[in-house]
Amino acid sequence: MSGLIDLYLQQFKTSLAAMLQYRAALVIWLIGQILEPLIYLVVWTVVSQTQGGSVGGFTTGEFAAYFIGLMLVNHLTYTWIMYEYEYRVRHGSLSFALLRPVHPIHSDIADNVSSKVVSLPGMFLAAVVLGLLFRPTFHFVPWAVAAAVPALVMAFLLRFFIEWCLALAAFWMTRVNAVNQTYFAAMLFLSGQVAPVALLPGWIQTTAAILPFRWMIAFPLELLLGRLTPIQTMEGFAIQGAWIGLGWISMRIVWRAGVRAYAAVGG
Partner 1 sequence: MTILRLLWIYLRVGVMNELAYRVNFFVRLFQSLLELGTALAGLAVVFSYTDTLGGWRPDEILALLGVYFLVGGVISVVIQPSMEGFIESVREGTLDFTLTKPEDAQLLVSVQAVDLWGFIDVLLGSGVLVVALARLGERVGGLEAAMFGAMLTAGIGIVYAFWLILATCSFWFVRVENILVIFQSMYQAGRWPVSLYPGWLRYGLTFLVPVAFATTVPAEALTGRLNTETMLGALALAAALLLASRAFWRTGIRHYSGASA
List the beta bridge partners of residue 59.
54
How far apart are the C-alpha atoms of 243 and 149, rounded to whole Å? 18
Q: How far is the CB of 153 from partner 1 (least distance, A)?
A: 29
List the beta bridge partners of residue 202.
none
Would the CA dihedral through 231, 234, 238, 240 be positive or negative? positive
Residues in the chain: 267
Q: Is 20 in the site for partner 1 (CB under 8 A)?
A: no
Read off the amino acid at residue 227: R
Q: Which is nearer to partner 1, 118 or 194 (CB)?
A: 194
Interface with partner 1 by CB under 8 A: which range of 13-21, 24-32, 60-68, 241-249? 24-32
Q: How far is the CB of 141 from partner 1 (least distance, A)?
A: 26
Q: Is 185 in the site for partner 1 (CB under 8 A)?
A: yes
- Asked whether 5 and 103 are in contact (CB, 8 A), the reply is no
Which parts of 137-176 interact with partner 1 (CB under 8 A)?
Answer: 175
- 8-state DSSP, 195: S
Q: How far is the CB of 69 from partner 1 (least distance, A)?
A: 19
- Asked whether 63 and 198 are in contact (CB, 8 A), the reply is no
- Which one among 10, 14, 21, 51 touches partner 1, defined by CB under 8 A? 51
- Which one among 3, 5, 50, 99 touches partner 1, defined by CB under 8 A? 50
- Which one among 4, 17, 39, 128 touches partner 1, defined by CB under 8 A? 39
Which residue stretches of the chain are H helix? 2-21, 23-50, 60-77, 81-91, 94-99, 104-134, 142-167, 177-190, 202-210, 213-216, 218-224, 230-261
- Which one among 14, 177, 206, 232 touches partner 1, defined by CB under 8 A? 177
Q: Is 198 in the site for partner 1 (CB under 8 A)?
A: no
Residues that bind partner 1 (CB under 8 A): 24-25, 28, 31-32, 35-36, 38-39, 42-44, 46-47, 50-51, 55-56, 133, 175, 177-178, 181-182, 185, 188-189, 194-195, 199-201
